[in-house]
């Protein structure tokens, strides 16, 4: 590996290269929207993302993928991607965050990719679920994941100068969250129930100008790390705790060197201050618009976040459909 300074860390040009991979995944998934076959949609997105990542000048290692090597054709944990020339980078991928949404033709499905300096992303693959709470910067020094949700809602409302009744709390609509949803409503706040895709929910909670003030609940551990990459660019707040489903998984986490009882902040989930988050819409949602076929073109909308510069860029691209036949 060269010691040239320009190769030591991922730079801003990398973000514009990575967005090509999420665009490709979203475009290839588009024909499967509403067709009821989530595996076909995911497979098409994976193949497209892998192909485009192979053209990028970097030495990428999939730290958070879709499974182990024997689960091919998924992008597996430990897979090497890129040309091998350039910065060494941890990569987290979710070719479709919301496969069920895509299959059903529902909103908020995304193609997602995050990157950070090599060796800085938390490998929580031994514990599948993670409890998370995300807000914008108003939650810093105010929210504590170990406090009751009602206390956190009231504290956030005070910090924002709002009535509790004005707050909207995003939660994955799952049986495990029945009590949490009741507690949110008992506190006087409203809920925004998510069918799938808590990455988008967390990002919208951290962005200013959205109708989501907080995103809470138990979702995937990989999604927590991916969300943290975005939160660092947005200047928002995230806390998390691993949520082992049983004693066996808890022990697996301990054996892997994880503190399963610790409260994890953004710096625990990803230690780098040079993170990238890229997402392209598969279906329409509050973060980005979905893929659209418009006569001879295919239009995509993406969002690109980088923590070092603190920038959020939106990229609308028109692709000649004939190039994708």
Q: What angle do CA 70, 114, 44 make, to 5 degrees?
A: 50
CA-based Rg of the chain, rounded to a whole angstrom? Answer: 19
Nearest residue to 135 via CA among 234, 218, 274: 234
| Beta strands 190-194 and 168-172, pairing class | parallel
Annotated binding site for substrate: 97-99, 129, 174-176, 196-198, 220
Rounded-to-integer distance, Cα 72 and Cα 53, Å:
16
Annotated binding site: 42, 66, 94, 97-99, 129, 174-176, 196-198, 220, 223
Beta bridge mates, 117? 89
Question: Could you identify the residue written with the tokens 């924002």?
Answer: 160
Q: Which residues of 211-234 are buried (b: 16+ CB within 10 A; e: fewer)?
A: ebbbbbbbbbbbbbbbbbbbbbbb
Residues written for the chain: 325
Annotated binding site for Mn(2+): 42, 66, 94, 97, 223
SS3 76: coil
Rounded-to-integer distance, Cα 265 and Cα 238, Å:
6
Beta bridge mates, 319? 298
Nearest residue to 60 via CA among 50, 68, 69, 70: 50
How many CB atoms neighbour CB 299 within 10 A? 16
User: CB–CB of 114/269 below 8 Å?
Assistant: no
């Amino acid at each position: 590996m060269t010691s040239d300074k320009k190769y030591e860390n991922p730079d801003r040009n990398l973000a514009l290269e990575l967005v090509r991979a999420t665009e490709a995944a979203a475009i290839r998934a588009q024909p499967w929207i509403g067709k009821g076959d989530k595996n076909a949609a995911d497979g098409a997105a994976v193949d497209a993302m892998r192909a485009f990542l192979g053209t990028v000048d970097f030495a990428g290692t999939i730290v958070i993928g879709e499974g182990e090597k024997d689960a091919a054709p998924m992008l597996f944990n430990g897979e090497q991607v890129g040309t091998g020339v350039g910065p060494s980078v941890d990569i987290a991928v979710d070719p479709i965050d919301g496969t069920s949404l895509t299959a059903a033709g529902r909103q908020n499905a995304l193609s997602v990719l995050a990157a950070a300096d090599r060796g800085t992303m938390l490998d929580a693959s031994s514990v599948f679920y993670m409890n998370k709470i995300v807000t914008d910067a108003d939650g810093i020094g105010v929210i504590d994941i170990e406090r009751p949700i009602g206390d956190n809602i009231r504290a956030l409302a005070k910090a924002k100068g709002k009535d509790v009744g004005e707050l909207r709390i995003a939660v994955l609509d799952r049986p495990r969250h029945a009590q949490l949803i009741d507690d949110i409503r008992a506190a006087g706040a409203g809920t925004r129930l998510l069918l799938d895709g808590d990455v988008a929910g967390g990002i919208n909670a951290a962005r200013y100008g959205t109708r989501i003030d907080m995103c809470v609940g138990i979702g995937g551990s990989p999604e927590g790390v991916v969300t943290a990459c975005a939160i660092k660019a947005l200047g928002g707040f995230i806390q998390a705790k691993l949520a082992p489903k049983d004693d066996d998984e808890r022990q697996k986490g301990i054996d892997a060197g994880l503190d399963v009882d610790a409260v994890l902040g953004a710096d625990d989930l990803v230690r780098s201050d040079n993170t990238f988050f890229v997402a392209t819409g598969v279906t329409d949602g509050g973060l980005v618009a979905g893929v659209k076929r418009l006569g001879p073109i295919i239009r995509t909308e993406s969002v690109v976040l980088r923590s070092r510069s603190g920038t959020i860029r939106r990229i609308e691209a028109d692709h000649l459909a004939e190039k994708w036949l």
